[in-house]
Structure 1
Amino acid sequence: MHQLLIAGRYRLVDLVGTGGMGRVWRARDELLHRDVAVKEIVPPVWLGEAERDDLRRRTLREARTAARLSHPNVVRIYDVVHDRDSPWIVMEYVESRSLQQILAVDGPLSPARTARIGLAVLAALRAAHTAGVLHRDVKPHNVLVATDGRVVLTDFGLATFTGGDAAMTGPGMILGSPHFVAPERARDGISDPRTDLWSLGATLYAAVEGQPPYARDSAMATLSALATDPPDPMRRAGPLRPVLTGLLQRDPWRRLTAVEAEPLLRRAATATPAPTRPAAPDPTRPPAPGPTRRAAPDPAGPAAERAAPAGRSGTRARRGQRVAVGVAAAATALLAAVGTGLAMAARDRSEREPSGTGAGIGPTRPAAAFACVAAPPAAASPVPSVPPPPGARFRLVPGWTWYTDPTGFQIAAPIAWLHWTEDAVTCFREPGGTRVLSVEASVARADPVAWWRAEERRLTGDGALPGYRRVDISPMDIFDGGAVWECAWLNPAGERVHTARLLANTSAGRAYTVSWLTKEFDWQVNATYFPMIRQSFTPAL
């Protein structure tokens, strides 16, 4: 089969790769006299004949869809042919090594190089998602690094089925590598752009750490860990830690969007390695001969050292900063220079703050704790549908529009929902329903996680949240630092409600709290809107 001619035009030369869905050959296009890559689709052995026929039809249809993509980080598809009872995909041939081959030969990559590869793959995914194409099999094997440094993502559309995976998988079978399959896809077969972003995070994790985030001995053990455990600890990620943590969130609505991930990857791509510092000498013994020993890098970095005062109190402050950084690992880049003493002081001060205004930008009371839940006032007006503003970065889902507040902030809001203000809170409420979106301006919080924990203690201590259940309080890398508080409780009508509240610090000492509240029963469906809400939010200048 070495010199087999496919479709009377493509002569197979060398086998360059194999996978669960087929074989890839380097071939010669006899018509245009150029090298191409040809993938032969080989259905899994567990598929019945009817499913094999369906696979062939879907593969051809989806490959044609992927052929519409034209992007420098996407392997171009030239042709789709049917020969010898199998579909064949003719693609651009890239002289390269896969990321998997690089890791196997050279070992883990540096955080900066991993981030540069991540930016290229992210750009490819954004182009594909805009065209309505999902990848569903992002992994190191499908990321190619060319000899000239170009990074391309291959196998677009080859594992994408319009009708979903359910009809194509046997009992207990999942298309794609278990090490790089998003939790919701492994659990429910759900695929959307967010599942591709989880797989991107797992791929970059493997690149910088040398193994995937759930490295287990078997596929079953991997899937079991994926369902319940956090990713394995990161030891080499450094400046990549925030974006990897954000992409590998188990809940899709908590996961970073492509727009949110890009600046974090750019920051990691240009970050300089933290310098090591000499260990402090022991005054009770003479220095040991030989090379000078060096202490492990301090995750708080030199900035934390400058922030702490000299002397014994400075030592305590630096030690406290390292503890704070360890607790808020997902936001290391944002919180490294914040001392624990400063954070605790800010929290204690916030608990004592009375109602009123701060710096002329809104109250310092609990950020939108119960705002907008009462019946809308008579002056409430429906949100009109307006054209996208100039420079809009993405399209909103149907039924939503862009809202620009008189105070200057901008956010996506549901069309025809009732809109009004309560003090410094802008309210959007579903007519005749319980869903509420709100935005409140306030002063910046030195430690957003500590602020939410203080609010939780205060409100639960006052009995204001009957039936309270915390889901999570965790940092989020947004603007100048933030945190999200997700919880559920019983409202005055006895209904169980669920909310996510994002506190985001911005410049000039400002902060905003963006809250999204629904009935607990409806949360799983409505939580999918929250990434769009937070991605659309633009604070006032």
Structure 2
Amino acid sequence: MGTEGADIRVIAGRYRLEARLGRGGMGVVWRATDQLLGRRVAVKEIAQDNSLSAEEARQQRDRTLREARAVAQLSHPHIIVVHDVVVDDERPYIVMELIEGGSLADRISAGGPVGAQDVARIGVALLSALNAAHAAGVLHRDIKPANVLMESGSDRVVLTDFGIAQVAGATTLTETGSFVGSPEYTAPERMSGSRTGPESDLWSLGALLCTALSGESPFRRDSLGGILHAVVFAEFSPPDQAAPLLPVVQGLLERDPERRLGATEAERMLRTFLDTGRTPQASQVPASPPSATDRQHGYTPTHRDLPSQQPPAAAPPRAGQSTRGMLVAALLVAAMAGAGVSAAALLMNGDDDGDGRPGSSAPHTPADTSSTAAHTSSSATSTTSPAARTSSGAPNTSTAPAPALTTAPSGYRVARDPAGFSFAVPDGFRRDSQGERVFYLSPGDTFRIGVKVTDPEPGGPLAVMRRAAAKGPDTNPGYRDGRVTETTQGGRPAALWEFTWNGFNATEGARHTYDLCWEEGGRMYDVWVSAPVGKVREAREYFDVAVDTFVRT
């Protein structure tokens, strides 16, 4: 039992709590003395909620023990050392090494932005710590400036507070629906609850580095709903102060965890900056052939047929993982956190339009609906007359259409279009014909699936797409990151064009487009999907399903 005097309290008959160092969501940290060994320590007293049931209180103690086990596995100069775990008066305490000095959050609060050299040094230390933790199967899951300690009188950076860490193979104590962590530093995929891995810690680190460089979290908003919207949907605009380390910050804050910068590469880039004053671009890692697991999770011809010397344009979403799932989870988090109607409304608006644009069930005007078509291949924008068009080579000997599509994946329906094709489109999408172009539009027109069927053009699909890409800046405001990749569709030559652009007005916001063009049966087919940049994972899913199920009729 603990004893308590006017100024001190002794727990477990050994540790004298002397002064409060700080308070967090999981409890109070005390400066203390280990009376048995005669050394200074830090003791974390886990907060107790008297309203908890006996089972809930047990789960809380289990969480504490799990934290201690997780950190006790690790031996690294940049990870806090755990000395002991004790239970006193049914309350758990964690005894750790005492770091003399404040947190990174304290430093930012007192002095504002941190210089790029110091931020790079902090990043290298934390990446080294995360590499060690991840190798041991330990995820931190709450990386933020308040959990990074800066030792006075040395350059030592220490990662602490593994209070919600998840050890591989251990039971997840948050599966009941409660959300743990700091939303401003929580990766988008964690919002869905469908995936948490080392990549999620790296996202958090990217947000931390950006915060240190600018003095403020890039995802800070006035409400929880606003924060969740910023993390999951809104376009990320890095602050000017992040420029020296921008390749690292942007790489770590890539929303797609499959494309996110890895810890080893990020550490290499930061070390190069420390040595040279310049941050290199990330190395391009050759793509590997698809594995059985890839195919099981929907690895499609769109990805499989990309040449091995170039990485896929985007990784396929895992089963059950989409922006739709992130939105639902974000709404639940907002509701559980008491954010109320305002947060829910904000996020609901995000699902309707992705960028705050008022939803509308009315069809676009021809100029607006062609915002995905005007950008597509020159088969969608060509002014060449039909008589002038010629085939790029010998026609495909197979002219018979494939069997009609009869089934669609869950959440989709079969669209048998009078223009002479069928494919799977998401439930709730409506058809809108615009001359040669046929659109299938989501509610609010956030997602636009377009199809155009024309005569073949000179040079075949690859030449068509390259000509279209050359006109990209003229047809798509703010055109950037465009690339054309030679691929195949159903064994036939094809070309994939991917790019980002600003949308046709400020209200529409930045968008990303996937566009595939191929020839079949003496005709040229062009299928594309356009969506807000914050919803590229869901857009990629729609694109892959459309292409993989497309059948001419």
| TM-score, length-scaled by structure 2 | 0.53
What residue in structure 2 maps to residue 528 of structure 1? none
Task: Percent identity, please.
Answer: 40
Cα 1:103–1:45 shift into 2, 3 Å? farther
Q: 2:139 aligns with which of 134, 137, 140?
A: 134
Maintained 8 Å contact 1:133/1:157 = no
Q: 1:226 aligns with which of 226, 231, 242?
A: 231
Cα 1:488–1:69 shift into 2, 3 Å? farther
Q: 2:57 aligns with which of 52, 60, 83?
A: 52
* Residues 104-503 of structure 1 aligned to structure 2 (within 5 Å): 104-147=109-152, 148-160=154-166, 162-164=170-172, 166-167=174-175, 169-170=177-178, 174-188=179-193, 190-272=195-277, 436=304, 439-440=307-308, 453=482, 455=484, 470=498, 487=514, 489=516
Secondary structure of the 1:253 match is: coil
Q: 2 CA distance for matches of 1:111 and 1:93?
A: 27
Q: 1:63 aligns with which of 54, 65, 68?
A: 68
Secondary structure of the 2:218 match is: coil
Q: 2 CA distance for matches of 1:234 and 1:211?
A: 10
Secondary structure of the 1:167 match is: coil
Gaps of 5+ in 1: 274-331, 336-408, 418-427, 474-484, 499-515, 524-541
2:40 counterpart of 1:35: yes
For CA contacts below 8 A with separation 6 or more, give which structure has more relative contact order. 2
Q: 1 CA distance for matches of 2:250 and 2:190?
A: 19
Q: 1 CA distance for matches of 2:237 and 2:257?
A: 19
What residue in structure 2 maps to residue 520 of structure 1? 544
State the one-letter code of the partner of 2:61. Answer: R
What residue in structure 2 maps to residue 296 of structure 1? none
Q: 2 CA distance for matches of 1:23 and 1:203?
A: 23
Give the root-mean-square deviation of aligned CA atoms. 4.5
How far did residue 194 of structure 1 move?
A: 0.7
Q: 1 CA distance for matches of 2:243 and 2:24?
A: 32
Cα 1:412–1:33 shift into 2, 3 Å? farther
How far did residue 472 of structure 1 move?
A: 5.8
Maintained 8 Å contact 1:47/1:168 = no
Cα 1:46–1:103 shift into 2, 3 Å? farther
Per mean C-alpha deviation after superposition, the further-off stretch among 81-90 and 91-100 is 81-90
Q: Deviation per CA, 1:130-180, whole angstroms, max 9, x where unpaired?
A: 01111011000000110112111001254437333643554xxx3112111
Q: 2 CA distance for matches of 1:132 and 1:440?
A: 31
Secondary structure of the 1:237 match is: helix
Cα 1:191–1:413 shift into 2, 3 Å? same
How far did residue 269 of structure 1 move?
A: 2.6
Q: Deviation per CA, 1:240-292, whole angstroms, max 9, x where unpaired?
A: 1110001011111121111221122113334549xxxxxxxxxxxxxxxxxxx
Q: 2 CA distance for matches of 1:40 and 1:46?
A: 18
How far did residue 11 of structure 1 move?
A: 0.8
What residue in structure 2 maps to residue 72 of structure 1? 77
Q: Deviation per CA, 1:201-232, whole angstroms, max 9, x where unpaired?
A: 11111000110111211222111221211234
How far did residue 412 of structure 1 move?
A: 5.6
Maintained 8 Å contact 1:75/1:152 = yes
State the one-letter code of the partner of 2:239. Answer: M
Q: Deviation per CA, 1:342-365, whole angstroms, max 9, x where unpaired?
A: xxxxxxxxxxxxxxxxxxxxxxxx
Cα 1:218–1:186 shift into 2, 3 Å? same
How far did residue 454 of structure 1 move?
A: 5.6
How far did residue 35 of structure 1 move?
A: 0.6
Cα 1:45–1:212 shift into 2, 3 Å? farther
Maintained 8 Å contact 2:84/2:96 = yes
2:103 counterpart of 1:98: yes
What residue in structure 2 maps to residue 12 of structure 1? 17
State the one-letter code of the partner of 1:93. Answer: L
Maintained 8 Å contact 1:65/1:157 = no
Cα 1:454–1:167 shift into 2, 3 Å? closer
Q: 2 CA distance for matches of 1:113 and 1:433?
A: 41
State the one-letter code of the partner of 1:152. Answer: V
Q: 1 CA distance for matches of 2:205 and 2:484?
A: 35
Cα 1:158–1:34 shift into 2, 3 Å? farther
Q: 2 CA distance for matches of 1:40 and 1:254?
A: 39
State the one-letter code of the partner of 2:155. Answer: G
Q: 2 CA distance for matches of 1:99 and 1:7?
A: 31
Secondary structure of the 2:141 match is: coil
Q: 2 CA distance for matches of 1:416 and 1:251?
A: 21
Q: 2 CA distance for matches of 1:458 and 1:416?
A: 21
Q: 1 CA distance for matches of 2:299 and 2:200?
A: 30
Q: 2 CA distance for matches of 1:458 and 1:213?
A: 38
